[in-house]
């Protein structure tokens, strides 16, 4: 029994049930969280969780469920963790494929660009700023350019 009063088996059933209720966007948000937790990368997980916080807004049901997931998952045995991966992959095979890719190749945040698209985006931003020879390489400038481009 954990401090929540539920067995790990009951916790697993809740997570699987909640996953079935997640919208497509919530599943996209859950993917890197699950991949980071399963991979045992707490620093990577903390970064992903920071993107879920909303200072002046009430906590959503999704955020509560993710909070419980983050409390429960580390207490589970490897067999339970594997059963979760299998269960969510059976519910949503596309999610399962993306999860396996994230576990093998490392996950990306929702909206994060892969290297090919990042390079293309940086070149376009550089060209729009009148610099046609080199893409933006400074990470801070790239972030500012992305924010500016979004508005």
Transcribe 58-100 into DSSP letters.
PPPHHHHHHHHHHHHGGGS-HHHHHHHHHHHHHH-HHHHHHHH
Q: Average of pLDDT values for 32-56?
A: 69
Q: What pTM value is reported for the model?
A: 0.62
Q: Among 53-67, 77-91, 108-122, 124-138, which is the least confidently predicted range?
A: 124-138
State residue 112's pLDDT score.
Answer: 52
Answer yes or no: is pLDDT of 99 > 80: yes
**What phi and psi, each to the nearest 5 degrees, are found at residue 61?**
-60, -40
SS3 32: helix
Query: How far apart are the C-alpha atoms of 97 and 7, rounded to whole Å?
Result: 29
Answer yes or no: is pLDDT of 100 > 90: yes
Q: Which residue has the higher pLDDT, 138 or 92?
A: 92
Work out the pLDDT band at 141, boundaries 50, 70, 90. very low
Q: Average of pLDDT values for 83-99?
A: 96
Answer yes or no: is pLDDT of 117 > 60: no
State residue 23's pLDDT score.
Answer: 96
Answer yes or no: is pLDDT of 37 > 80: yes
State residue 145's pLDDT score.
Answer: 39
**Average model confidence (pLDDT) across the chain:** 74
Q: Average of pLDDT values for 1-28?
A: 90
């Amino acid at each position: 029994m954990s401090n929540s009063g539920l067995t790990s088996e009951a916790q697993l059933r809740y997570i699987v049930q909640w996953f079935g209720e997640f919208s497509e966007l919530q599943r996209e948000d859950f993917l890197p969280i699950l991949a980071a937790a399963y991979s045992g990368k707490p620093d990577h997980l903390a970064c992903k969780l920071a993107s879920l916080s909303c200072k002046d807004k009430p906590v959503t049901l999704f955020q509560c469920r993710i909070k419980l997931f983050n409390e429960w998952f580390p207490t589970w045995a490897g067999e339970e963790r594997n059963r979760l991966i299998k269960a969510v992959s059976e519910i949503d095979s596309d999610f399962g494929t993306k999860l396996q890719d994230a576990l093998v190749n490392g996950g990306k945040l929702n909206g994060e660009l892969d290297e090919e698209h990042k390079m293309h985006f940086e070149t376009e931003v550089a060209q729009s700023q009148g610099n046609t020879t080199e893409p933006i390489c400074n990470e801070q400038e790239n972030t500012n350019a992305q924010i500016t481009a979004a508005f």
